[in-house]
Structure 1
Amino acid sequence: MKLSRHTAAYISVFCVFFINAVDVSQAKAIESWIKMAATALVIVLALAFYLHSLGSHKKVMNQTGLHWVVCLITLAGLSLAWSIDSSATGTAIVAWIYTLCAAYLLIGLGIPTAMTIIVISFAWLCAISLALSLTWPDAFMLNQGIMRFRGIFYGPHALARPAAICLCIIASGVLLVRKPVLFVLALVIGTSLLLTFSRQAITVMMIGVAIAVLMRARTYSHAVIIGSAGAFLLIGLSYAYISGHGLTEIASFDDGNDVQSLTGRTFIWEATLLLIQQKPYFGYGFGAGGIALQDYYSAGAYNWTTYNAHNAFLQILLDLGVAGLTVFLLMLGYWLIRSFSMFPVLFFPVLICVMLLSFVERGFYSVGGFIPLVLMLVLLSRSHHISGRLNA
């Protein structure tokens, strides 16, 4: 029996989505075993294809990007020495390792094929969710006074964030599918996104799709579009300075009491900054900063708690301090350069989407999963296309 790299890539992407986003809590007795098996499967598949490729002397990945990812994982491993929760740190390290393995399997197929596999895999999960919602009441959850769609995912945001980015990928025109299939993919994913009522993800999706469409239409040059985006950002920062209001104040209302909306994160950021000041250089350990934040709220007079700083940069500082933030800023700088040199019509809109989401969620600093997978595809991709078959 022969297992193609294409099939292995599909399996790995489904596993990544399953581990990070699909809710299997109803099977509590075997939940951890199921996710451990999925994790092991991705790593074994990547290792098998890596060993199979040793004799070909063909480089699948961009070595510079790989070095940056390895540098981050190495720093994460070192943080075990000072982590306040070694179990959480170990879990986060494993998450980035299996995400890297999935990226390795995808990279060998080329960017268009890799993105096609990602979008189709996610669309299948959305289609299953929509089908189940007809008879399964738990497909919706009451949040902020409305019933929000989550399907088989952990929650509305776990569905909304990848949906927004997938729609940007579709708008870029790089998918290797026919137009009728493209329409169905957009319809299924778009419907799922709208039913989540996630204002952040829907707004980010519209911005990313608009940029992708403009870049494809060539109505304006890429430089003008990018310059316009920078000008809008500059205007916003200037307004914040001239008006005498802070950025967090402009982004919030009602004293920031609405925790689960875009406007309710400012006091979480304030609490995070207080914790960062206590361990500014190396943080609380990779993946363990959220534990410190959770303990902070549990110790106070609050009727809720959170382990998510709802900002990727603050979460990095919480986990790995200034050392981790430095590594990530350099990595993001390299990601930005790669976005302009390879498929700018695809990667620039996706970059904008990811960065906007990263200011209100963990974004590119998620514990493995979809967005880090997209980040790694940009960092590791090479211009040539490799396909292979593995005897299994």
Structure 2
Amino acid sequence: MRVKVKEIPSILEKIFIVAAIFFYTRSPLPLVWSTEEFWQAPVLNFIWSSIYGITVFLILFHWRKSIAKARKDIFILLLAGLGLISVFWSDYAAVTFSRGLTLLIITLFGIYLGSRYELKELLCLFAWALGIAAAISLIYGLLLPQTGIDSEFHVGAWKGIYGHKNHLGRMMALCAILFLLFGQTFTKYRRVSLIGFTLSVLLVLLSTSTTALVVILTLLVLQPLFKALRLHLLIIIPFFIFTLIIAGGALAWFVSNAETVFTTLGKDITLTGRTQLWETVFSMIQERSLLGYGYGAFWLGYDGPSAQVWLTVNWDPPHAHNGYLDTWLELGLLGLLLFVLGYIRNIKMAVQFLRSTPTSEGLWPLVFLTFMILVNISESCILSLNGSAYWLIYTATVHYVHNRIYQRGQSQDRRDTGSGVLKTGTCKSA
């Protein structure tokens, strides 16, 4: 099939977007260097500078058509803006400014994607990026086990092209759910989707990430319930009452048998030390509860406030292993409230979008928002730059939904206005 000359810029743009999302998953592909050396290597600095430069160019080039409409995403913009202005109370202003500016660029890039592409196109772009990550992770595990498989802390657990098994696990959990919906949306690509889904689940199992596995199973169970939201209210209400009864019974059983469950999963009741970590982190939060320590200014190893946490828990966590605590740590109660209020609003709009979109892709916003709420219970990927693809996809998805609902509302208003004018004219002529 021949490619028309006028289509080349669009194709190149999509190739760049796929590559950018791939790198935003925080995969440096440490083929030659060790991870630390690679991050400091000039070639990686060049790659990131190029990605940010092209991103800014695309944002500015399409400013009027995309970013000018960003005011509808007020909570997202306020949260990203708070990250940048937290430089004024951060003890590490240079770090906060650099990371806050990066967060703002990624946020605007997500808004740009959500306004420029249809949801089906976004699913394709996301699937390409995460599918490539899955394929290369498989290659690393098979051909480069010294890099793709952990031999130090979690011996035998796969980490693929990422630095940790949990990072691979949660990325592949998202990839699995994405390919599941991709196959339902694009029926002619069901074989490709099945391969992508199977590979993703396999990598989750090889990573031994319990969180990722639980997230996949939960979303698989919830998907039929989400579809039920399209039904008439008289059917939905008793259906969800029954579901809540079942869920309540399951929760009661889990609480009563928690120790047995964790032992079966190979975990201890403290979630591998997370409960002690959360207690220590919460005590640090109380010292700066309103505005936090500044974006990116807490987890700086022994050179930052995180040193007190490390010394207390006797291990070196790179984050709080909870996205909500990390948001509170860095941006205070104000930042956490902005995220929670925005999230509640986004859930409401995702349900509205689902009920008005009969096709399979209508499930994606609600499924992804549920993924975000689940994975951040024991991991941290709300505003984290160590895997900023989550925030990018979140922003793009939410902005698309906001735009589409706004457009439908305007169309309905025009129809109502036209109907009113017609009725008025009819009355006068009578």
Q: Is TM (by shorter chain) over 0.5?
A: yes
TM-score range, shorter chain: 0.7 to 0.9
Partner letter of residue 191 of structure 1?
L
State the alpha-carbon separation in 1 of the partners of residues 346 and 152 from structure 2.
35
Q: Structure 2 length normalisation: TM-score?
A: 0.74
Q: Which residue of 2 aligns with 1:277?
A: 286
Q: Which has the larger radius of gyration?
A: 2
Q: Which residue of 1 aligns with 2:127?
A: 119
| Partner residue of 1:66 out of 63, 73, 98 | 73
| Partner residue of 1:313 out of 324, 327, 334 | 324
State the alpha-carbon separation in 2 of the partners of residues 180 and 145 from structure 1.
33
Q: Which residue of 1 aligns with 2:59?
A: 46
| Cα-to-partner distance string for 1:259-300 (whole Å, 9 max, x where unaligned) | 9x9442101100111101111111101122323552113445
| Partner residue of 1:194 out of 197, 205, 211 | 205
CA contact (8 A) 1:170 1:186 kept: yes
Q: Which residue of 2 aligns with 1:390?
A: none
State the alpha-carbon separation in 2 of the partners of residues 94 and 83 from structure 1.
14
State the alpha-carbon separation in 2 of the partners of residues 301 and 341 from structure 1.
44
Q: Which moves more between the two structures, 138-147 or 113-122? A: 138-147
CA contact (8 A) 2:80 2:107 kept: no
Q: Which residue of 1 aligns with 2:422?
A: none
State the alpha-carbon separation in 1 of the partners of residues 241 and 11 from structure 2.
38
Shift of 1:322: 1.3
Q: 1:383 aligned to 2:404? A: yes
Shift of 1:210: 2.6
SS of residue paired to 2:332:
helix
Unaligned runs of 5+ in 2: 355-361, 408-430
CA contact (8 A) 1:9 1:106 kept: no
| Partner residue of 1:12 out of 1, 5, 17 | 17
CA contact (8 A) 2:327 2:382 kept: no
Quickly say closer, same or farther: Cα 1:352–1:66, change in 2 above 3 A.
closer
Partner letter of residue 134 of structure 1?
L
Q: Which residue of 1 aligns with 2:27?
A: 22
Q: Which residue of 1 aligns with 2:110?
A: 103
Q: Which residue of 1 aligns with 2:417?
A: none
Partner letter of residue 59 of structure 2?
A
Quickly say closer, same or farther: Cα 1:71–1:238, change in 2 above 3 A.
same
SS of residue paired to 2:156:
strand
Shift of 1:132: 3.4
**More helix per residue:** 2
Quickly say closer, same or farther: Cα 1:347–1:379, change in 2 above 3 A.
closer
Q: Which moves more between the two structures, 311-320 or 345-354? A: 345-354
State the alpha-carbon separation in 1 of the partners of residues 241 and 85 from structure 2.
40
| Partner residue of 1:153 out of 146, 162, 165 | 162
Q: Which residue of 1 aligns with 2:423?
A: none
SS of residue paired to 1:383:
helix
Shift of 1:205: 0.7
State the alpha-carbon separation in 2 of the partners of residues 232 and 10 from structure 1.
45
Shift of 1:151: 1.7
Partner letter of residue 140 of structure 2?
L
Higher RCO (C-alpha 8 Å, min separation 6): 1
Shift of 1:328: 1.1
State the alpha-carbon separation in 2 of the partners of residues 77 and 223 from structure 1.
43
Shift of 1:62: 5.9
State the alpha-carbon separation in 2 of the partners of residues 351 and 232 from structure 1.
23
Q: Which residue of 2 aligns with 1:211?
A: 222
CA contact (8 A) 1:140 1:148 kept: yes
SS of residue paired to 1:141:
coil
SS of residue paired to 2:151:
strand
CA contact (8 A) 2:83 2:103 kept: no
Shift of 1:63: 4.1
Quickly say closer, same or farther: Cα 1:29–1:219, change in 2 above 3 A.
closer
Q: Which residue of 2 aligns with 1:370?
A: 389
For these two proteins, the number of residue pairs brought into alignment is 372
Partner letter of residue 202 of structure 1?
L
Q: Which residue of 1 aligns with 2:379?
A: 361
Q: Which residue of 2 aligns with 1:330?
A: 341
Quickly say closer, same or farther: Cα 1:231–1:5, change in 2 above 3 A.
farther
Q: 1:94 aligned to 2:101? A: yes
